[in-house]
Amino acid sequence: MGKDKLSYQLKTPKGTKDWEGIDMVIRDQIFNTITSVFKRHGAVTIDTPVFELRQILSGKYGEDSKLIYDLADQGGELCSLRYDLTVPFARWLAMNPSIQSIKRYHIAKVYRRDQPAMTKGRMREFYQCDFDVAGAYDRMVPDAEIIRIVCEVFGKGGLVLDGIFEVCGVPKEKIRTISSAVDKLDKLPWEEVKKEMVEEKGLSEEVADKIWEFVQMRGARDILDTLRQDPRVTSNESLISGLQDMDLLFTYLEAFDVLPHVEFNLSLARGLDYYTGVIYEVVTEGSAPPSTTSTKKPPSTNHNHNPKPPRKEKSAPEFDEDRSNDPSVGVGSIAAGGRYDELVGMFSGKAQIPCVGISFGVDRIFSITKSRLNTTTSTLRPTEVDVYVMAFGGKGFTGLLKERMQVAKTLWDAGIKAEFSYKEKPKLGAQFKKAEESGIPFAVILGEEEVGRGEVRVKEMGLEEGHGEKDGVVVKMEGLVGEVRGRLERKRREREGGDGDGEGEVVDSMRELKVEDRERKTGDDGV
């Protein structure tokens, strides 16, 4: 290209971002935390292609199908980028009929052409961490374990019963589309949701008002008791069966000691077509959008003869506009899932394989976790290096590059994370600056005289002036590994007994996420 200027702007596509530095540290720790819980519960991992045949994805996502990224024909097959990890898992099960039961987890990127809000984790390319149980088991047992997994990761969850629409008189052919409307209650006031039901989707006002009676209910066993006293409920067989399942689920959640963290919420209605039973979403204080209650003030009664001209209403944002600064947009649900007993059967003419699962939205968890860490004094560092190997000397200093390499090799062989300068003759100040900027806790310092005696100096970084070991301690080369290991272990014990290290801060921030208990705050199907 020579000196010719670029004819295009260097940027990432809308709804995507590059990851680096501390952000990668936080995200990797979120991955590690979630994966460790998945493995604790006996899950194995699988992977699937990033794109699927278009016909595999079509007809599975209801109104959200418009968010699927379709690819151009590249060889006789019409394909689309995967929208989630659930449908590919069901396709995989259908292609492997010998597998009739499995606990699986999958961590991978998915793609949705949604309107982005980048700092709130609402992106077009993002990670999901899925845990699913497939197989015919006794009722509600795997469902209870799914909720237990949510609580082990970061705390609390919420539930819904879909069959309430039948009681209200919603025609069966409209249940999916009405569910999609109810799912907007986190973003719109009831008046607008009702208008969509009645004017756009042909539901009668009377039925819509009945739905409003139910979707305001939330609680736990008290909601079950209330519903059982309603003659409209007791006359509906499918709803009675659903309440029995919920009662059984609550019993199992008591055994898992997580029932106090669960809310039974009748307004929860996810828009995806493949759900067949209980569904759940996890929402935190940090992810909830502002209340949808109108806050408009009444008209002014000031009779000033020169009033200010009316302010123009802000035009609706462009579809591609990043809505990160829009106060009406929240992060949304940070985990969601449910039961999808018929999805595998859509791909196979053989017997159904019941499934239930949960999906954690890593990018949304990240946005809340990072926000929490930014409000505290964080000790996160960009690398996990424990030792920086450096050298110094006077006139005629050779840099001791080969010796530094040998020390680094010794530490690496012992499993200790170490680094050194690639410069042949690095300045001592530059070496200390690199170690300090990277938050490396220890330095191994080589001097020409010490090297001649087979010695090195081990120094803990950041000690105050006047500390007895401010200049480090001299150790024999053969004792270096033991000395460093001992100091790292003491440092680890100090962190555990004190404020914790950077990784611990991420885990603590995740597990301190507090779920909204009494207000419908769930987001879209972004997880």
What is the per-residue burial (b if ≥16 Cβ within 10 Å, else e) of 467-478?
eeeeebeebebe
48 is in an annotated binding site: no
* Residue 275, annotated as binding a ligand: yes
* Residue 54: its H or E element: helix 54-57
Q: Is position 457 annotated in a ligand binding site?
A: no
Cβ neighbours of residue 442 closer than 8 Å, sequence gap 6 or more: 386, 387, 388, 458, 459, 460, 461, 484, 487, 488
Does the annotation place 280 within a ligand binding site?
no
Per the CB < 8 A criterion, the answer to whether 403 and 446 are in contact is yes
124 close to 113: Cβ distance less than 8 angstroms = yes
∠ Cα 261 266 269 (to 5°): 105
Residue 240 sits at φ, ψ, to 5 deg, of -60, -45
SS3 261: helix
Q: Is 492 annotated as a binding residue?
A: no
DSSP state of 296: P
Cα–Cα dist 254/411, whole Å: 49
Q: Is 274 annotated as a binding residue?
A: yes
Name 299's Cβ contacts closer than 8 Å, sequence gap at least 6: none
Q: Which residues contact 1 (CB under 8 A, 6 or more apart)?
A: none
Distance of CA 84 to the CA centre of its chain: 13
Q: Are 362 and 31 in contact (CB under 8 A)?
A: yes
In 3-state terms, what secondary structure has residue 22?
helix
- Tell me whether residue 245 is annotated as binding: no
* Dist. CA 339–CA 354, nearest whole Å: 8
Rounded distance between C-alpha atoms, residue 412 and residue 453, angstroms: 23
Query: Is residue 133 a contact partner of residue 145, using CB atoms and an 8 Å limit?
Result: yes
Q: Which amino acid is at 488?
A: L
Please give the annotated binding residues for L-histidine, written as ranges. Answer: 84-86, 112, 128, 132, 270, 274-275
Please give the annotated binding residues, written as ranges. Answer: 84-86, 112, 128, 132, 270, 274-275
